[in-house]
Amino acid sequence: MSTGMKTPLGRVRGLGSAKSGTGDFWRQRVTGVALVPLTITFVLVVIYLAKASQATAIATLSRPLVAILMFLFIIAGIVHMRIGMQVIIEDYVHDEKWKIAAVMANTFFSLLVGACCTYALLKLNFGI
Amino acid sequence: MADRKVPARPLSPHLQIYRWPITMTMSILHRVTGGALYVGTMLLAWWLLAAAAGAKAFGLMQWFIGSPPGLLILFGYTWALMHHMLGGVRHFIWDLGHGLGPGDRDRLAQANLIGSVVLTLALWILGYWALGGTN
How far apart are alpha carbons B128 and B126 in whole angstroms? 5
The CATH fold of domain A23-126: 3 helical TM bundles of succinate and fumarate reductases (1.20.1300)
pLDDT band at A12 (very low <50, low <70, confident <90, very high): confident
Measure Cα distances from A104 to A85, A98, B40, B45, B67 in Å: 11, 10, 19, 20, 35
End-to-end CA distance of chain B: 82
Domain B24-130 of CATH type 3.30.43.10: no
pLDDT band at A17 (very low <50, low <70, confident <90, very high): low
How far apart are alpha carbons A93 and A102 in whole angstroms? 8
Q: Is the model's pLDDT at B135 over the cut of 50?
A: no
Quick one: average pLDDT of B75-91?
97
pLDDT band at B95 (very low <50, low <70, confident <90, very high): very high
ipTM of this complex: 0.85
Contact A47 B130 (CB under 8 A): yes
Q: Which residue of A has its CA nearest to B91?
A: A29
Asked if B78 has any chain A CB less than 8 Å from its own CB, the reply is yes
- Which residue intervals of chain B are DSSP H helices? 22-53, 55-66, 68-95, 102-130
Quick one: average pLDDT of A35-42?
97
Domain ranges of chain A: 23-126
Asked if B101 has any chain A CB less than 8 Å from its own CB, the reply is no
What is the share, in percent, of chain A residues with pLDDT greater than 70? 93
Per the CB < 8 A criterion, the answer to whether A115 and A70 are in contact is no
pLDDT tens digits, one per residue of A41-82: 999 999 999 888 999 999 999 999 999 999 999 999 999 999
Q: Report which of A44, A30, A123 is spatially closest to residue A77, judged by C-alpha positions.
A: A30
Q: Report which of A2, A84, A40, A25 is spatially closest to residue B32, judged by C-alpha positions.
A: A84
pTM higher than the cut 0.95: no
Instruction: Report CA dihedral (B40, A59, B63, B41) to the nearest 10 degrees.
Output: -10
